[in-house]
Amino acid sequence: MKRAAIKILLAIAGSFFIVLTTFAQKSEFHWEQLNENSNRLKGKLSGTVFVLSSKSNSNYFLQNDWADGSITLEDDDVYDSLKVRYNAFEDKLVVYNDNLRNLFAVDKEKVKSFIVKNPAGNQKFVKYYYDGFPKGDRYFEVLYSGGRDFLVFREIVEEKTRPFVDKFGIMKDTRFKGKNTYFMYSPEAGFQKIRLRRSSVLNVFPENKREIRRLLRRNKVNIFDEKGMSRAFKLLDENGYFQ
Amino acid sequence: MRRFKYILLLLFFVVALNSLARAEAVDHSRLFLFTDRDYCISGDTVWFKVEIRNGWSQNSNVVHVQLHSHNSNLIAGVKKKSTGNWAEGFIHVPDSLSTGVYFLSAFLNSQRASSVWETVNKTLFVYNRFDEEITQLQVPVADNKIEEKGIEGLISVAGGKEIFAPREKVNVDFALDKIDTSSIKNVVVRATHLDELSAQAGGRFISKSKSSKPSIPVIDEKDGFLLSGKVTDADTGEPAEKVVVLLSLYSEMPYLDYFLTDRNGDFHFFLKNAFGVANVVLQAVAEDDREFNLQVGKNYMVSEKINFQSKILTPDQSDFIANAINGVFFKKLFEESYIVEDETFYMPARFEYPFYGRPYNRVFTADFFDLPDFQEISRELLHGMQYRVRNDEVTLRLLNEPENIYFKSDPLRLINGIPVFKNRLFANFDSNDIEYIDLVLKERLYGDLNFKGVLSVSLKDKSNAWLTQQPNFFRISVPCLQPDKRPAYAGAGIEKENLPDIRQVNFWHLTETGQKQQVEFRLSDLKGKVEISVEGVTEDDILFKTSKIIEVK
- Residue A9: inside a domain, yes or no? no
Cβ distance B231 to B292 under 8 Å?
A: yes
| Mean pLDDT of the B272-287 span | 93
- Residue A176: inside a domain, yes or no? yes
Residue B443's beta-bridge partner residues? Answer: B452
Q: How far apart are CA B342 and CA B326, in angstroms?
A: 26
Query: Is A15 a residue whose pLDDT tops 60?
Result: no
Closest-CA distance, A56 to chain B, in angstroms, reads 15
Instruction: Return the top range by mean pLDDT from A6-10, B248-252, B302-306.
Output: B302-306
Question: Are A178 and A236 in the same domain?
Answer: no
- pLDDT for residue B7: 65
Cβ distance B78 to B105 under 8 Å?
A: no
- pLDDT for residue B20: 44
- pLDDT for residue B466: 82
Cβ distance B268 to A39 less than 8 Å, yes or no, reads: yes
> Which candidate, B489, B483, B167, places its Cα nearest to that of B338?
B489
- pLDDT for residue B486: 84
Cβ distance B434 to B373 under 8 Å?
A: no
Cβ distance B122 to B70 under 8 Å?
A: no
Q: How far apart are CA B425 and CA B445, in angstroms?
A: 24
**ipTM for the complex?**
0.85
Q: Which of A28, A39, A41 sits opposite B450 (nearest CB)?
A: A28
Closest-CA distance, B126 to chain A, in angstroms, reads 39
Count how many domains chain A has: 2
Band of residue A169 on the pLDDT scale cut at 50, 70, 90: confident
Q: pLDDT of B443-469, one tens digit each? A: 999 999 999 999 999 999 988 888 887
- pLDDT for residue B9: 61
> Which candidate, B430, B424, B412, B456, places its Cα nearest to that of B374?
B430
Question: Are A49 and A162 in the same domain?
Answer: yes
Cβ distance B395 to A102 less than 8 Å, yes or no, reads: no
Cβ distance A219 to A203 under 8 Å?
A: no
Q: Which residues of B touch A48 (CB under 8 A)?
A: 357, 442-445
C-alpha dihedral, B153 to B155 to B157 to B158, nearest 10°: 70
Question: Are A154 and A240 in the same domain?
Answer: no
Q: Which residues of A touch B420 (CB under 8 A)?
A: none
> Which candidate, B422, B404, B405, places its Cα nearest to that of B413?
B422
- pLDDT for residue B499: 76
Q: Searching chain B, which residue's CA lies closest to the CA of residue A98?
A: B448
Tell me, rounded to whole angstroms, the distance of Cα B113 from its chain centroid: 20
Domain coverage including residue A237? 196-243
Q: pLDDT of B222-235, one tens digit each? A: 999 999 999 999 99
Query: Is A6 a residue whose pLDDT tops 70?
Result: no
Residues in chain A whose Cβ is within 8 Å of chain B: 18, 21, 24-31, 33-49, 51, 73-75, 97, 99-100, 102, 104, 107, 109-110
Band of residue B543 on the pLDDT scale cut at 50, 70, 90: confident
Q: How far apart are CA A49 and CA A106, in angstroms?
A: 9
Q: Taking all residues of chain A, what is their mean pLDDT, rounded to a whole number?
A: 88
Q: Searching chain A, which residue's CA lies closest to the CA of residue B272?
A: A42
Cβ distance B344 to B277 under 8 Å?
A: yes
Cβ distance A29 to B449 less than 8 Å, yes or no, reads: yes
- pLDDT for residue B339: 59
Question: Are A130 and A153 in the same domain?
Answer: yes
- pLDDT for residue A4: 56
Cβ distance A46 to B356 less than 8 Å, yes or no, reads: yes
| Mean pLDDT of the A164-182 span | 89
Cβ distance B351 to A44 less than 8 Å, yes or no, reads: no
The DSSP annotation for B353-405 comes to S-TT-S-SEEEEGGGS---SSHHHHHHHH-TTEEEEEETTEEEEEEEETTTTE
Band of residue B492 on the pLDDT scale cut at 50, 70, 90: very low
Query: Is A14 a residue whose pLDDT tops 50?
Result: no
- Residue A159: inside a domain, yes or no? yes
Cβ distance A26 to B287 less than 8 Å, yes or no, reads: yes
- pLDDT for residue B443: 95
Strands B244-250 and B277-285: antiparallel
Query: Is B59 a residue whose pLDDT tops 60?
Result: yes
Cβ distance B394 to B388 under 8 Å?
A: yes
Q: How far apart are CA B121 and CA B118, in angstroms?
A: 10
Question: Are A216 and A237 in the same domain?
Answer: yes
* Radius of gyration of chain A, Cα coordinates, nearest whole angstrom: 26
Q: Which of A26, A41, A42 sits opposite B285 (nearest CB)?
A: A26
Cβ distance A25 to B353 less than 8 Å, yes or no, reads: no
| Mean pLDDT of the B364-386 span | 93
Instruction: Report CA-CA distances (Å) from B402 to A101, B33, B406, B446.
Output: 20, 58, 10, 19
Q: Which of B352, B391, B448 sits opposite A38 (nearest CB)?
A: B448
> Which candidate, B104, B91, B120, B105, places its Cα nearest to that of B204?
B120
Residues in chain B whose Cβ is within 8 Å of chain A: 217, 219, 226, 242, 244, 257-260, 262, 268-270, 272, 285, 287, 350-353, 355-358, 391, 393, 395, 402-403, 409-410, 412, 421-422, 442-452
Sign of CA dihedral B54, B212, B224, A81: positive
- pLDDT for residue A28: 58
Question: Are A171 and A200 in the same domain?
Answer: no
Question: Any idea which of A52-61, B20-29, B293-302, B406-415 has the lowest mean pLDDT?
Answer: B20-29
- pLDDT for residue B11: 56
Instruction: Report CA-CA distances (Å) from A147 to A211, A219, B402.
Output: 19, 20, 42
Q: pLDDT of B261-279, one tens digit each? A: 999 999 999 999 999 999 9
- Residue A4: inside a domain, yes or no? no
Q: Which residues of A touch B242 (CB under 8 A)?
A: 31, 34
Query: Is A185 a residue whose pLDDT tops 90?
Result: yes
Closest-CA distance, A109 to chain B, in angstroms, reads 7
Q: Searching chain B, which residue's CA lies closest to the CA of residue A103?
A: B445
| Mean pLDDT of the A83-94 span | 96
| Mean pLDDT of the B488-512 span | 76
Q: Percent of chain B beyond pLDDT 70? A: 91
- pLDDT for residue B248: 95
Q: How far apart are CA B229 and CA B216, in angstroms?
A: 9
Q: Which of B351, B412, B450 sits opposite A30 (nearest CB)?
A: B450
- Residue A72: inside a domain, yes or no? yes
Query: Is B496 a residue whose pLDDT tops 80?
Result: no
Beta-carbon-side half-sphere exposure of residue B98 (alpha carbons within 13 Å): 3
Query: Is B12 a residue whose pLDDT tops 80?
Result: no
Mutate to test the interface with B, among A18, A22, A46 (most CBs of B within 10 A): A46
Cβ distance A157 to A174 under 8 Å?
A: no
Q: pLDDT of B300-357, one tens digit each? A: 999 888 899 999 999 989 999 998 888 877 777 766 555 566 678 999 988 989 999 9
Cβ distance A34 to B402 less than 8 Å, yes or no, reads: no
Cβ distance A41 to B352 less than 8 Å, yes or no, reads: no
Q: Searching chain A, which residue's CA lies closest to the CA of residue B454?
A: A28
Cβ distance A212 to A201 under 8 Å?
A: yes
Q: Which of A27, A46, A109 sits opposite B352 (nearest CB)?
A: A109
Q: Which of A35, A73, A100 sits opposite B445 (nearest CB)?
A: A100
- pLDDT for residue B253: 87
Q: pLDDT of A51-86, one tens digit each? A: 999 889 989 999 999 999 999 999 999 999 999 999
Cβ distance B285 to A34 less than 8 Å, yes or no, reads: no
Residue B309's beta-bridge partner residues? Answer: B139
Question: Are A237 and A132 in the same domain?
Answer: no
Q: How far apart are CA B54 and CA B30, in angstroms?
A: 9
- Residue A16: inside a domain, yes or no? no
Q: Which of A28, A30, A99 sits opposite B412 (nearest CB)?
A: A28
Sign of CA dihedral B315, B320, B325, B327: positive
Cβ distance A47 to B445 less than 8 Å, yes or no, reads: yes
Mutate to test the interface with B, among A23, A27, A102 (most CBs of B within 10 A): A27
Q: Which residues of A touch B353 (CB under 8 A)?
A: 107, 109-110
Helix (H, G, I), strand (E, B) or coil at B310: strand
| Mean pLDDT of the B201-206 span | 92
> How many Å is the maximal CA-CA distance in chain A?
101
Mutate to test the interface with A, among B393, B423, B445, B454 (most CBs of A within 10 A): B445
Question: Are A141 and A189 in the same domain?
Answer: yes
Instruction: Report CA-CA distances (Å) from B39 to B124, B133, B141.
Output: 5, 16, 18
Q: How many residues are there in chain B?
A: 553
Query: Is B159 a residue whose pLDDT tops 90?
Result: no
Cβ distance A103 to A95 under 8 Å?
A: yes
- pLDDT for residue A54: 86
Q: How far apart are CA B131 and CA B494, in angstroms?
A: 28
Beta-carbon-side half-sphere exposure of residue B497 (alpha carbons within 13 Å): 1
Cβ distance B260 to A74 less than 8 Å, yes or no, reads: no
Cβ distance A48 to B352 less than 8 Å, yes or no, reads: no
Query: Is B494 a residue whose pLDDT tops 90?
Result: no
What secondary structure letter does DSSP report for B461? -
Question: Are A132 and A223 in the same domain?
Answer: no
Cβ distance B395 to A75 less than 8 Å, yes or no, reads: no
Tell me, rounded to whole angstroms, the distance of Cα B255 from its chain centroid: 20
Cβ distance A24 to B268 less than 8 Å, yes or no, reads: no
Count of other CB atoms within 10 angstroms of residue B178: 14
Closest-CA distance, B434 to chain A, in angstroms, reads 23
- pLDDT for residue B23: 47
Closest-CA distance, A186 to chain B, in angstroms, reads 23
- Residue A188: inside a domain, yes or no? yes
Beta-carbon-side half-sphere exposure of residue B411 (alpha carbons within 13 Å): 27
Question: Are A136 and A173 in the same domain?
Answer: yes
Q: Which residues of B374-393 are buried (b: 16+ CB within 10 A; e: fewer)?
A: beebbeebbebbebeeeeee
Q: How far apart are CA B239 and CA B233, in angstroms?
A: 6
Q: Which of A73, A97, A107 sits opposite B448 (nearest CB)?
A: A97
Question: Are A211 and A173 in the same domain?
Answer: no
> Which candidate, B457, B416, B451, B455, places its Cα nearest to that of B439?
B455
Cis status of the peptide bond prior to A134, with omega within 30 of 0:
yes
Closest-CA distance, A18 to chain B, in angstroms, reads 9
- pLDDT for residue A197: 93
Q: Taking all residues of chain B, what is their mean pLDDT, rounded to a whole number?
A: 87
Residue B24's beta-bridge partner residues? Answer: none
Cβ distance A74 to B351 less than 8 Å, yes or no, reads: yes
Sign of CA dihedral B2, B3, B7, B9: positive
- Residue A13: inside a domain, yes or no? no
Cβ distance B119 to B206 under 8 Å?
A: yes
> How many Å is the maximal CA-CA distance in chain B?
100
Q: How far apart are CA B357 and CA A109, in angstroms?
A: 9
Cβ distance B445 to A31 less than 8 Å, yes or no, reads: no
Query: Is B160 a residue whose pLDDT tops 50?
Result: yes
A vs B, Cβ pairs < 8 A, gives: 112
Q: Which residues of A touch B403 (CB under 8 A)?
A: 51
Helix (H, G, I), strand (E, B) or coil at B333: helix
- Who has greater pLDDT, A133 or B242? B242
pTM of the full structure = 0.87
Residue B397: which residues within 8 A CB-CB, separation 6 or more? B385, B386, B388, B406, B407, B408, B409, B410, B411
Question: Are A205 and A165 in the same domain?
Answer: no
The DSSP annotation for B237-303 comes to --B--S-EEEEEEESSSEEEEEEE--TT-EEEEEEET-BSEEEEEEEEE-SS---EEEEEE---EEE
Cβ distance A28 to B449 less than 8 Å, yes or no, reads: yes
Q: pLDDT of A96-135, one tens digit each? A: 999 999 999 999 999 999 999 988 889 999 999 999 888 9
- Who has greater pLDDT, B111 or B469? B111
Q: How far apart are CA B1 and CA A188, in angstroms?
A: 83
Query: Is A180 a residue whose pLDDT tops 60?
Result: yes
**Residue A121: enclosing H or E segment and its boundaries?**
strand A121-130
Band of residue B386 on the pLDDT scale cut at 50, 70, 90: very high
